[in-house]
Every structure is written in C-alpha cells, then in structure tokens.
C-alpha cells in the first residue's frame, strides 16, 4: 500500500469527525472511540495517485474522510474496468483479508483515516458493535453491487447518469450536508472520463446526457464543480428507479 502523505499527529478527534455518523465508528462507545482515536493516523493522496494495487499486501485499513477513490480491475490483456467508487465514510480494506482485491486510485485529493490491520482486528474482536457495523456496511455494499448490475444491464444512458447523480446527492446529504427542501447539492468530484468508465458509456454520451439534464432543469452546474438538483424526486424518476435511498 502506498504511503501517501503521513500525518503523525491526530488532526481531528473522532467524536467531531465529519464522517462520524456514517463511518465504521458510527456505533462505537466512548471507550471504543477513544481507542480508535489512539490507533488512527491520516494519509492523503493526490489525484491520480495509486493507494493500493490489486494483489498487494495491505497492512492498513480505514475510512475515507474527504475525497473520492476509484476501484478498478485490469485483465491480463490490459483492459481495465472501474468497478466501484469510495466516497466519504466508505471503508477501505477487509479485516481478515491481507491483500487488496482492486487497484485503488485517488480520483481527487483524498484523505484516509487509517488503522494498522492487526490493531483494528483486535479491536473488532473486543467490540461486537464495531464488528456488526462493519457487517452492515458490507451488506450495503452488496446491495449497491446488485443495483449496479441492474444499472449496467438494463438502464439507458440517461438513466445511468441520473442514477449516479442521485447516489452522490444522497451520499453527500448523509455525511453532513442537509438537502434543500426537495433538492440537493454536492461536489462532482470525478471527471466525465471516470463517469464514462464507471457507467460503461463513452465520454461523448456522458457529456450529451449531462447537458440534456441541465437544459431540462433537472440539474444545475455551478462553480467549483458543484451540482445542484432542484428536485431530487424528479431526478429519481429520470433514473428509472431502483436506487435504494437506504443504501
């Protein structure tokens, strides 16, 4: 696993962390939070920097605090497919599994809250609530993967774009930004090229569909890559449904 930029000092107390209510530590007791606070460290990566290679030993696990990373697999002939995104509060790595299953690459500047694997696994053994929380997050990932099978197999290009925007809007609201009445806003961290790779589309198709959604008033493109959704329910209709708001 790449080192990134290491911050030896604890920068933010766990109790005041921006992802506290959504991350693996959401159900932690005060004593467990204190222990997590003791064993954590921060690492930051620049856009395009590899965090971990598929098959590489990962001595660290942890949560995304800020930014976005992509998960990708590469076939023997060099073909590459993005298979997932890591957004704030998502967990990187698997306790009990020493190697990365995917290439993990920073799509934006990203900050991770990391724990040494052995220390985190010890804490899981001693803290059933943390173990249950991690299991719940893993089951949520399974639901997302099933939804993505539907998206890639049956949805139109427009529905794919709308689905991704709905997911990002709901995730942003879940990590601290309350949606406006009936609407939402969020930073579009990933490029259109990355969106095309993730959604199985061409860049040109992504651009056309985003432009169409903008013309029709479904979204607004603002400064600093912010996207505003005036009516989230309307965008859900454009997505064709199947995007579970609980995930």
pLDDT tens-digit map of 190-219: 889 888 988 889 999 999 999 999 999 999
pLDDT grade, residue 46 (50/70/90)? very high
Q: Could you give the C-alpha distances from 119 to 4, 14, 54, 56, 59, in angstroms and in order?
A: 20, 17, 23, 19, 10
Q: Residue 229: what pLDDT?
A: 94
Q: What b-and-e string marks burial along 209-243, b requiring 16 or more CB atoms within 10 Å of the CB?
A: bbeebeeeebbeeeeeeebebeebebbbebbbeeb
Check residue 63 and give its pLDDT: 95
Q: What is the mean pLDDT of residues 221-225?
A: 89
Mean pLDDT is lowest, of 12-26, 86-100, 108-122, 176-190, for: 176-190
Of 226, 227, 235, nearest to 163 (Cα)?
A: 235
Residue 244 is predicted with a pLDDT of 54
pLDDT at 89 over 80: yes
State the Cα–Cα distance between residues 28 and 31, nearest whole angstrom: 8
In angstroms, the Cα distances linking 141 to 25, 61, 101, 233, 236 are 17, 16, 14, 23, 20
Q: Higher confidence at residue 80 or residue 127? A: 127
Phi then psi for residue 246, to 5 deg, are -80, -15
Give the pLDDT confidence score for residue 176 in this predicted structure.
44
Asked if the model's pLDDT at residue 177 lies above 80, the reply is no
Q: What is the pLDDT of residue 189?
A: 78
- The pLDDT score that the predictor gives to residue 133 is 93
Higher pLDDT, 165 or 177: 165
Whether the pLDDT of residue 242 is over 80: the answer is no
Cβ 219 vs Cβ 209: under 8 Å:
no
Set out the domains of the chain in order of their start, with CATH numbers: 5-146 (2.60.120.10), 155-238 (1.10.10.10)
Q: Which of 37-46, 182-191, 216-225 has the lowest mean pLDDT?
A: 182-191
Average pLDDT, the chain: 86
The pLDDT of residue 113: 95
- The H or E element that residue 52 is part of is strand 50-52
pLDDT given for residue 157 in this prediction: 95
Determine the Cα–Cα distance for residues 144 and 209; give it in Å rounded to an integer. 23
- For residue 173, give both structure tokens: 């609201």
């Amino acid at each position: 696993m790449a080192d990134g930029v290491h911050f030896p000092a604890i920068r933010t107390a766990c109790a005041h962390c921006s992802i506290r209510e959504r991350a693996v530590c959401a159900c932690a007791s005060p004593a467990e939070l204190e222990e997590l606070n003791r064993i954590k460290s921060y690492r930051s990566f620049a856009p395009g920097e590899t965090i971990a290679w598929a098959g590489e030993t990962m001595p660290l696990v942890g949560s995304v605090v800020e930014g976005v990373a992509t998960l990708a697999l590469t076939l023997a002939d060099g073909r590459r497919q993005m298979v997932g995104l890591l957004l704030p509060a998502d967990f990187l790595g698997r306790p009990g599994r020493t190697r990365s299953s995917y290439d993990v690459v920073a799509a934006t500047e990203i900050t991770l809250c990391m724990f040494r694997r052995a220390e985190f696994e010890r804490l899981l053994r001693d803290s059933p609530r943390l173990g249950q929380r991690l299991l719940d997050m893993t089951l949520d990932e399974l639901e997302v993967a099933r939804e993505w099978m539907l998206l890639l197999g049956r949805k139109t290009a427009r529905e794919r774009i709308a689905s991704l925007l709905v997911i990002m809007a709901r995730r942003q609201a879940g990590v601290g930004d309350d949606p406006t009445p009936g609407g939402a806003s969020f930073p579009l961290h990933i490029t259109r090229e990355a969106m095309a790779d993730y959604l199985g589309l061409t860049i040109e198709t992504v651009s056309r569909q985003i432009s169409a959604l903008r013309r029709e008033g479904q979204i607004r493109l603002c400064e600093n890559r912010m996207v505003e959704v005036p009516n989230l329910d309307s965008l859900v209709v454009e997505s064709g449904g199947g995007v579970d708001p609980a995930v």
